[in-house]
Amino acid sequence: MISLAQGLMVASATVAFSMGTGHLLLTFASRKFHPRDPETEVRMKQDAPQLTRRTTMWNAWIGFNGSHSMGPMLFGAVYAYLAIFHGPMLFASTFLLGLGLVTLLGYLGLGLRYWFRTPVTGLLIAMACYLAAMAAA
């Protein structure tokens, strides 16, 4: 039987994992991250960033979205695993609890500055569950 704190941490991790998985699917199995203006996509496929000519802005865009998806998936998998199988160790570790909190706060900061309502709402839910898990522990 898992504790309330463990269950809340798993809920937080599940929200993060689900958001990352959804983002990955939208990146590679839909056109949701394609520009509305077809000419923008054409230009992105023709132009390279200042950093290097070995990629295009389009490939960088898709790659960044793919790798961005993997962060919340990793966070969710690791924190769910720790909560379920190593709950006492997780909740006794200031480092792990702080790392998770800073990670969620970082995503929330990015979301508030650069993203739209849906991911911010998901992050607020994940954050609320995370903080409730810490309080319950």
pLDDT band at residue 4, thresholds of 50, 70 and 90? very high
pLDDT for residue 133: 98
pLDDT for residue 106: 97
Q: What does pTM read for this prediction?
A: 0.93
pLDDT for residue 29: 97
pLDDT in tens, 74-110: 999 999 999 999 999 999 999 999 999 999 999 999 9
Q: How many folded domains does the chain comprise? A: 1
Cβ-in-10-Å burial (0-12, 13-18, 19+) of 85 comes to exposed
- Which two three-digit tokens encode residue 124? 């607020």
Q: State mean pLDDT over 26-39.
A: 96
- Which two three-digit tokens encode residue 103? 């990670």
Containing structural domain, residue 25: 4-136
